[in-house]
A and B are shown apart, each in its own frame.
Chain A
Amino acid sequence: MSVSESEPAPDPKIKTIEELHDYLYKGLQLEHATLPPYLTALYSLHPGTNSDARHVIRVVAVEEMLHLTLVANVLNAVGGTPDLTKPNFVPNYPTYLPCGPTYFQVHLRPFSREALDTFLKIEKPPEATTEEDRFVPVDWTALGLTSDGMAPPPEELAELKESGSIFGLVPGEPTKRFSSIGEFYEEIIRGINHLEDQARQAGKTIFTGDRARQVTPEYFYSGGGDVIEVAGRDTAVAALNLVAEQGEGLYGGIYDSQGELAHYYRFQQLEKGCYYQKGDEPGKPSGPTLNVDWDAAYPVKPDIKLTDLTRDPEILAAAEEFNRFYATFLTNINLAYNGQPDLLLKAVWEMFRMRDSMNRLVRNPLTGHPGANAGPTFEI
C-alpha cells in the first residue's frame, strides 16, 4: 500500500456509491472465502503435534475474522448493508479469487505443502510497480475457459459467477483482476477518496451510516488487533489499510503498522522452517527454528462434497448438520453486522462448537476412498 489520501487518485474505477458498495461486498466475500481453507488445514492437524503450524494458521484465521468485521464497518459507514447470506456468498470450492499474482485455485485441503503454497499465493504482497500492472486482464486460457484467450460471452460469465467457482469477478469489470488483495483494497481507498471529495464539494459526505451499526472493540475480543470504528474517511482508510497490511506487510516490509508480522511472512516461516525476528529482510527469516511435521495431519479429502459421503450415513448427517450450523452462524454474524453487534459475543460460542464439529469430521475415515478422511464441505 503506497497511496495515501493526500495523493491524487489516478482514474478511480469506483465512481458511484453503488460501485463502492459492490466492491466492499466483494471484500466481505473475499475475507470470508479464506476461512474455510484455513480452518480445514488448521483442524486437520493431529492433536498434540505441529504446535508451530497450529499457532501460525490460527493467528491468520483469527485476523481474517477481524478483516471481515473491518470491511463490514466500512460498508456500514458508507450507508451499505452487509449481507453474508446472499446466494454464493460462500464459494464453491475449489474457487478463484479476484486477485493474486497468477491465477490459482483455492482448495479445501488438509495441512500440506500444497495447502501452504496456496496460502502464500492468497497473501502474496503486491509486485505491481505501474498502474498497468495492478489491474490486468483475466487469463481465460490459463483458467481453461477459452482456448483463444478471449473472455467468454457475458451470459457465460454470469453463469460462472452463479456457480461460485469464479466468485471473485471484479465488480463492473468482470474480465479483469487485481494483481494482489492489497491492490484490490487500494482501489477501494481510491474510490472512497474520490467519492468523498465529490461529496464534500457539494457540502455532503458519503459517511452517512448509522453509528449504531458499527462493531466496536467491546464486541470483538482477542481477535488479532483492535477493531476500528469507522466514522469517516480517516478511519475508513485506516481500517482498509490494516486489512491489507496484516495480509501483506507495509511498504514492502514484513510487519504491519502495529508491528505484527504479516500473513504472507507468517506462512513463509512454515515453508522456511524458521521464525522471523525484528530486523529480518523479506524471505530471510533468522529467528528460532520452527518444526513442521508434514505427515501429522488427517488426510482430509480435498474439496470434499456431501456427494463423497453417501456411503457413510453418519458422516453425511454430521457434515449436513455442520453446513446448517454454519449457515445459521453466518446469519447471526450478519445480524451482528446489521445493528446487533452484541450477537458477536454469542457467535464466539458457536465458533467453538464448529471447531469441535470440524475436529470430529476430519478424524473420520471415509468408506470407499482409501486413505482419505471426511471434512467440512462448506456447501451452504
Chain B
Amino acid sequence: MTQSTDAGKQLRDFVKFSATVTGFSEFDLWGTGQAEGYYKTVLNQEGPDALQKAMASHPHTVPADPVVNSIIKLWYVGVWYGPELVGRVDVAAWTAPGRSGAKPAVPDYSRPEGTRSLAVSGQHQAGEDPAHGGQERKPLFVVSPDAYTEGLLWRAIGAHPSGAKAPGYGSWANPPVFED
C-alpha cells in the first residue's frame, strides 16, 4: 500500500467493517484486490460523512443504513448501486454471458431516466484516475472490469464468473466447491 498511514488505517477499517456486513473474512476481501477501489467508490459517491455514519451503524440494525446495503452489494457483484437503487435485483442482467460489465443484456425500463448511459461510463469512479474522481454522483456502474470477476457472489455459490477465472476443462462435471 502506498497511502499514508492514516489513509491506510481508514482503508483497513473499511475492510474490517465490510467483513462484518458481508460475512466474508478480511482475508477474502483483501484477496479480491478491490478493497481500495471500493473504498474510493463509496467515498466519491457518498462522501466521507455518509461513509462514516454507515460504518458506525450497528451491523445488525434492520433496516440497515442504505449506504451499508450499497457496500454489501458492491462487494458481492462489483457494481455500485447508489442507496436509492440498492434494492434492485437485476444482477442477472449485468452478468449475462457476453454482456458482462458492459451493459444490461435485456432492456431495463425500470431504471431511472438517464442512468443507462451513465452506467456504461462509470469505470473511472473507482478513483483510479483522480481527474475523474468524485465530483459527480452516478447511481449505477460497474466499478472496474476486475470487480465483476471478483464479486463475492461467485464464491458464495461455489461457481466462477462466466468468461473469467476459468476452472479448467471438464471441471463442470464436479459439484460446486464451497469453501469455509
B-contacting residues of A (Cβ < 8 Å)?
A: 46-48, 221, 312, 314-315, 317-318, 345, 348-349, 351-353, 356, 359-361, 363-365, 371
A299 (CB) vs chain B CBs: closest residue: B1
Minimum C-beta distance from A304 to chain B (A): 15
Contact status A364-B27, CB under 8 Å: yes
* A351 and B168 contacting across the interface, CB-CB below 8 Å: yes
Interface pair B27/A360, CB less than 8 Å apart = yes
Residues of B that sit less than 8 Å from A by CB = 1-2, 8, 12, 25-28, 30-33, 144-146, 150, 165-171, 174, 177
**How many angstroms between the C-alpha atoms of A345 and B167 in the bound complex?**
12
Cα distance A345–B169 in the bound complex, in angstroms: 8
**A314–B166 touching, CB < 8 Å:** no
A312 to B16, CA, bound (A): 13
Cβ 8 A contact of B33, one of A46, A312, A345: A46
CB of A129 to closest CB in B, whole Å: 45
Q: With contacts A48-B144, A365-B1 known, is A349 near B28, CB below 8 A?
A: no
Decide if B30 touches A365 in the complex (CB within 8 Å). Answer: yes
Is the pair B31, A363 in contact by a Cβ cutoff of 8 Å?
yes
Is A314 touching B27 in the complex (CB atoms < 8 A)?
Answer: yes
Q: Whole-angstrom distance from the CB of B127 to the nearest CB of chain A?
A: 15
Q: Is B30 within 8 A of A349, CB to CB?
A: no
Which of B31, B165, B166, B169 has a CB less than 8 Å from the CB of A364? B31
Question: Chain B's nearest CB lies how many Å from the CB of A31?
Answer: 22
A47-B146, A314-B25, A365-B12 known; 4 new pairs, CB 8 Å cut-off, are: A48-B146, A318-B27, A363-B30, A371-B2
CA distance A48 to B168 in the complex (A): 21
Closest 4 CB pairs of A and B: A360-B31, A314-B27, A349-B168, A364-B30
List chain B residues, Cβ under 8 A from A48.
Answer: 144-146
Interfacial chain A residues near B28, Cβ < 8 Å: 360
Output the least CB separation between A137 and chain B (Å): 45
**B32 / chain A contacts, CB cutoff of 8 Å:** 360, 363
B169 to chain A, nearest CB (A): 7
Cβ–Cβ contact A361 & B31, under 8 A:
yes
Q: How far is the CB of A154 from chain B (nearest CB, A)?
A: 45
C-alpha gap A351/B168 in the complex (Å): 9
Q: Hey, which chain B residues are within 8 Å of A364, CB to CB?
A: 27, 30-31
Report which of B25, B27, B33, B145 forms a contact with A359, defined as CB distance below 8 A. Answer: B33
Given contacts A349-B171, A356-B165, A363-B32, is CB(A315)–CB(B27) below 8 Å?
A: yes
**What's the least CB distance linking B144 to chain A, in Å?**
7
Least distance between A272 CB and chain B CB atoms (Å): 28
A-B contact pairs, 29 of them (CB 8 A): A46-B33, A47-B33, A47-B146, A312-B27, A314-B25, A314-B26, A315-B27, A317-B27, A318-B31, A345-B169, A345-B170, A348-B169, A349-B167, A349-B170, A351-B168, A352-B165, A352-B168, A356-B165, A359-B33, A360-B30, A360-B32, A361-B31, A363-B30, A364-B27, A364-B30, A364-B31, A365-B8, A365-B12, A365-B30
